[in-house]
């Protein structure tokens, strides 16, 4: 569904300005990411407003997205799978309440995962040159350390989920 919409939009753009645009495939790929992100945010924040949980949804999103942008991680093979799982996470996680101790445990586990696996699966997903990848690990560690100091459950769980997505297990690998 999302792929079809992105293809139609990319094709229209190419038709309108064939000389000054990139290929339809490149535009389609970029549009899939934009449309998917827009739909997830729309769903998650609509649900957050309905359940009076906007701030926690925002905190979860900030933690998850900031760490994901510098650490990489698992990608679903279809945008609809990504939309369903991302929307479910963004709508449900902000409703969790964890103890201070459990927040600390999740943060320490996240630090270990980031130290071991970040950045992961970032090749072809970013325009950042490979020589800067070690810096991405350090930035990822700083983000988790910030989470350790603020210990706000939605932020911590967003960080933890993203750190778990750094694993590169063969059974989950994109085909």
Domain chopping of the chain, boundaries:
2-172
Token pair for 152: 């706000």
| Nearest CA among 47, 56, 71 for reference residue 136 | 71
CA atoms within 13 Å, Cβ hemisphere of 52: 0
Q: Which residues lie closer than 8 Å to 24 by C-beta, 6 or more apart?
A: 7, 10, 11, 14
Instruction: Answer whether residue 14 shows pLDDT above 50.
Output: yes
Mean pLDDT of the chain: 89
d(C-alpha 2, C-alpha 28), whole Å: 10
pLDDT for residue 170 = 47
CB 152 within 8 A of CB 60: no
pLDDT for residue 13 = 87
Over residues 95-124, the pLDDT tens digits come to: 999 999 999 999 999 999 999 998 988 877
Report helix, strand or coil for 65: helix
Q: Taking the CB of residue 31, how many other CB atoms lie within 10 A of it?
A: 20
Instruction: Answer whether residue 164 shows pLDDT above 50.
Output: yes
In whole angstroms, how large is the CA radius of gyration of the chain?
18
Token pair for 150: 């603020």
Task: Region of 73 please: left (phi>0), alpha (psi -120 to 50) or beta.
Answer: left
Going by the DSSP 8-state scheme, the letter that residue 170 receives in this structure is G
Instruction: Answer whether residue 171 shows pLDDT above 60.
Output: no
Residue in the block written with tokens 């992961």 = 120
């Amino acid at each position: 569904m999302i792929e079809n919409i992105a293809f139609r939009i990319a094709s229209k753009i190419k038709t309108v300005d064939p000389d000054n645009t990139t290929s339809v495939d490149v535009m389609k790929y970029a549009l899939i990411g934009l449309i998917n992100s827009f739909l997830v945010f729309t769903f998650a924040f609509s649900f957050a407003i309905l359940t009076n949980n906007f701030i926690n949804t925002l905190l979860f999103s900030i933690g998850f997205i900031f760490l994901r942008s510098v650490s990489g991680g698992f990608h679903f093979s279809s945008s609809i799978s990504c939309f369903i799982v991302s929307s479910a996470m963004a709508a449900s996680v902000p409703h969790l309440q964890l103890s201070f101790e459990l927040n600390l445990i999740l943060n320490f586990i996240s630090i270990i995962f980031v130290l071991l696996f970040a950045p992961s699966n970032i090749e072809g997903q970013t325009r950042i040159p490979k020589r800067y990848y070690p810096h991405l690990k350090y930035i990822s560690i700083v983000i988790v350390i910030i989470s350790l100091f603020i210990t706000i459950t939605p932020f911590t769980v967003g960080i933890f989920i993203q750190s778990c997505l750094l694993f590169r297990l063969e059974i989950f690998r994109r085909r």
